[in-house]
Amino acid sequence: MYVPPLCGIIGPIFWHPSYICKFVYLTTIHARFTKSVAQIFMVLNRMSCVLNPIGYNQMWKRILPTVRILVIILPFGGSWNVWISRIVLKAVYGGFVLSYIRNVEWAPLSIFQSTYILVALAFTVICTTVTLCKISAVIVIAVNKQLRASIYPWKVSERSNSIIVSVFPN
């Protein structure tokens, strides 16, 4: 509910720098960058599942602790300027919005965020393309009995009319 006379009374309480405002703003910014970093590892996870279905579980059990640490640490590469800058509250349309006054002028948050998003998009496109190509190869092998027999001669039975689907790494 917006009550204009109260903004003049309550607003000055929030105009001064506050640790609560800084915590909320930094958490929000960090979450935005974390989303892009996590996206990269999710598509790598999906691609590795298709490329290496047998060793997939062991591989991700081994690298998952490192991935968790990277998902937490890498976003600081984009939000470092916010950490050293002053967080301010601005009055906008009867409400408040958090913003920051940059200490390093050449490093706006939007450039770093765009970079993280574009890198995540590139990883997504590349990994999805590789995943789809590999899945289509597996489908062709499963459907084509002669091709399956030439690749896996021990898997094709002469009497069987059913399709045997086997997924082995190349």
Q: What is the pTM of this model?
A: 0.69
Measured CA to CA, the distance from residue 21 to residue 158 in angstroms comes to 72
pLDDT tens for each residue of 124-167: 999 999 888 887 666 655 556 665 566 555 554 554 444 444 44
Does some domain include residue 129? no
Assess if residue 87 is contained within a domain: yes
Confidence of residue 71 (pLDDT cuts 50, 70, 90): very high
**Is residue 9 included in any domain, yes or no?**
yes
Q: Establish if 154 belongs to a structural domain.
A: no
- Please give the Cα distance from 113 to 104 (Å, whole number): 16
Residue 64 lies in a domain: yes
The domain of 74 spans 4-118
pLDDT at 40: 95
Q: Of 28-37, 48-57, 89-98, which gets the smallest average pLDDT? A: 89-98
Q: pLDDT band for position 93 (50/70/90)?
A: confident
User: Does residue 19 lie within any of the structural domains?
Assistant: yes
One DSSP character per residue, 65-106 reads HHHHHHHHHTTHHHHHHHHHSEEEEEEETTEEEEEEE-SSTT
